[in-house]
Each structure stands twice: as structure tokens, then as C-alpha cells.
Amino acid sequence: MAFFPTDQIEGTKARKGPRSIWTIGGGKGGSGKTFIAVNLGICLSRFNEEVVLIDTDLGGANIHTLLGLSFPQRTLSDFINKRVGGIRDVVVNTDIPNLGLVVGAQDLLTAANPKEPLKWKLIRHINSLDVDYIILDLGAGNSFNVLDFFLMSENEILVVTPEPTCIENTYRFVKSAFFRKVKRVVSHFGVKEIIEMAMDQRNERGIKTPLDIIELAGEIDKSIGLRLERELERFRPKLIVNQVRTKSDVDIGLSMQSAFLKYFGIALDYLGYIVYDNDVWQSIQRRKPLVLEFPQSRASKCINEITLKLITDKPFLFSSEDEANQRSDLL
């Protein structure tokens, strides 16, 4: 069943494209990106907003499973291979009002070298979908495919669990994302080369942070340096700490915020945390979304709160003291 009614003429908004896109990434597999995408989507849809979830995890799409659905008849493949007219034709209904779903495009993976033009076409078409919100669930890793999808929104959301492995991947992911972002905006050959070099962790010039790049670029051409500095100021990913068990796990978000600002020059927004909750595991086992199956659970409350923060323009900096007061009842 199609998500958009075929005779949608009356009441059609003059809008072209979604009001807002949220992209959910973070490098590490298993940190809860899909779980968070689905539950944020449901919370949003309950505000009477039209939401479309897009599963861009090309190899391992499984949003449908978390929603208790079987693999949809229509997928992005049908769009890519021109079996349907437009991307809106591959948005399928979920059982939840206002919530549509688009799944996977293995085709993008088949070529050893990802097909760039295809990816950009996809990004362009996603940007033209007439709904209120689009939530993109990204795959793991920091391949260009993942990074380009991540960067297509103004609301780039990072999911991290309080473990060294996941934190390590997050720093690497954010760094790669920034380098990818600026590489697209500069055309100076020498600066492009430096950025290219920086993508390699152990590069010979010792480039480690966005601030290093800006300094080197500024030495080549002052205006490029300033341009990159502006890009850095505008780059404000948001952070969710998932599977929080203790107060010090909550603080990891604050600490990462501080470290990102000091060392990378990136002002991260700490959106909030989701407590480790047995109900989450239960809901996944039952293939029923948490916020529907256990709306009163502590994790559901966390997700509700995060949704509300996301749809408002509120800046998300916490002070430790405020956090301390808020967190006590959930942990």
C-alpha cells in the first residue's frame, strides 16, 4: 500500500521537500542507530507530523524488522532501476499513522566503487519528498556513502554508547565527516591535497584535527582558511548517549562535548541520553517498537524528551548541575 494517496490534490501543500531531515549515524555498528531512528520517528508521528523513515543501511537494512513488518514489496531498487515514477512511490505504509518507510538499495553496493551519480540522484530526490520530516538511518562505518548521507541534513545526530570502542569510532567518524564536508567546498588543488592527506590517520604532516587543516589551508590562502573556519562553526552535530547505566555514563556526553570543542573546535550539541533498559531488549525481541510497547518505560521517556528537544529550536547545552537534577529519577 502506498504511503501517499494517489489522488492527493486537495490540501496539498505548496511545499517542495521536507521541513527537516534528521540523519542518524556514528560509525559503530550496534550502538542503537536503527532503534533510535524508529522510535524517534514514532514519537514525531504522534505529533501529527508526516514522517518518512529511510533505511540507508545498504547491506543490512532492518528497520522493517523493528517495526514488525516483513521486507516491503517496493524498495529504493525500484526507484533506482526506474520501475516506478518517483521516490514517493517507494514510500510504504507502516501500521503507524503518519509514518512511512523506505528501505534499502543494495544496488548502490554492487559496484566495487560506489556509483557517485546514483548516490547524488538519490540525495536530490530524498530532498524533494513532500513530508514534514525525514529520518535517515545510516549504516556503520565511515565510507563516503555513509558520510554523504550523514551530511545531507542540518540535524546530524551521532549515537554513541559509553564504551571505548564506540567512542573511538565516533571521533574518527566526526573527523572524516568534517573533512568530507570541506573537501566538497574547496576547489584549490593544494588545499584539496591536504584534506586528502588528512583522511589518512597516520599522515606524514601530522594533521589530526579540523583546526590543523584550517591552519595549513590558511597558510596557502588566507581566504580559504577563513572559509573553512566558517564551515567548522556551522558544523554542529548532535550527540545521543545510548545505553547509559550510571551517572558517569551520562557525563561521558558532557566530556565528549568538552573535548570536541577544545581539541577539534567543534561545538557539539549534547541532546541527551537513553538509559539502559531491559524493556528495550524485550521490545526488540517482540519486534514491537519500544515507545508503543512500553510507553511508560524509562527509555521511552528519554526518547520522548529527545524528540521534543529536536523539534524545538532550543540549544542543547547542558550544565552538569542541571543534568544532575534531571537524571536522578531515570537512572
Partner 1 sequence: MKRIKDQTYYELLEVDRGSSTEEIRKAYRREKEIFSSDSVAIYSLLEPEELNRINSLMDGAYRVLTDEKLRSEYNRKLDGLEGKAFSGEPLGSSDIRETRPALKEPVGISFPNGFRFTGSSLKGIRESMGIELKQISQKTKINRESLEYLEEERFENLPALVYVRGFIMEYAKALDLDPHRVADSYLQSLHQWEKDRKG
Site for partner 1 in 12-31 (CB under 8 A): 19-20
Q: Is 328 in the site for partner 1 (CB under 8 A)?
A: no
Residue with cell 511545499: 15
**CA 120/CA 57 separation, integer angstroms:** 16
> Is residue 171 a contact residue for partner 1 (CB under 8 A)?
yes
List beta partners, residue 23: 136, 156
Instruction: Single out the residue of 154, 168, 193, 196 in contact with partner 1 (rule: CB under 8 A).
Output: 168
Site for partner 1 in 115-154 (CB under 8 A): 132
Label residues 208-244 b or e (16+ Cβ within 10 Å = b). ebbbbbbebbbeeeeebbebbbebbeebebbbbbbbb
* Stretch of 46-54, 57-65, 75-83, 276-284 lying at the interface with partner 1 (CB under 8 A): 46-54
Q: What is the Cβ-side half-sphere exposure of residue 289, based on CA atoms within 13 angstroms?
A: 23
Tell me how far apart the alpha carbons of residues 184 and 232 are, in angstroms, rounded to a whole number.
13
At 55, list the grid cell: 533505511
Which phi and psi angles does 242 have, rounded to 5°? -105, 155
Only one of the segments 23-31, 32-40, 177-185, 251-259 lies at the binding site for partner 1 (rule: CB under 8 A); that segment is 251-259
Q: How far apart are CA 294 and CA 241, in angstroms?
A: 20
Q: Cβ closer to partner 1: 215 or 293? A: 215
Give min distance, CB of 244 to partner 1, in A: 13
**Taking the CB of residue 254, how many other CB atoms lie within 10 A of it?**
17
Look up cell 566538497; give the residue.
184
- Annotate each residue in 268-307 with x if it binds partner 1 (CB under 8 A) or - if it does not, as one string: ---------------------------------x--xx-x
Binder among 69, 123, 308, 331 for partner 1 (CB under 8 A)? 308
Q: Which is nearer to partner 1, 31 or 56 (CB)?
A: 31
Q: Which of 8, 223, 255, 278 binds partner 1 (CB under 8 A)?
A: 255
Phi, psi of 231 (to 5 degrees): -60, -40
By CB under 8 A, residue 251 contacts partner 1: yes
Asked if 136 and 153 count as a contact pair (C-beta separation under 8 A), the reply is: yes
| Contacting residue, 259, 279, 288, 298, with partner 1 by CB under 8 A | 259
Binding site for partner 1 (CB under 8 A): 19-20, 43, 46-49, 132, 162-164, 167-168, 171-172, 211, 214-215, 229, 232-233, 251-252, 255-256, 258-259, 262-263, 265, 301, 304-305, 307-308, 311-315, 317-322
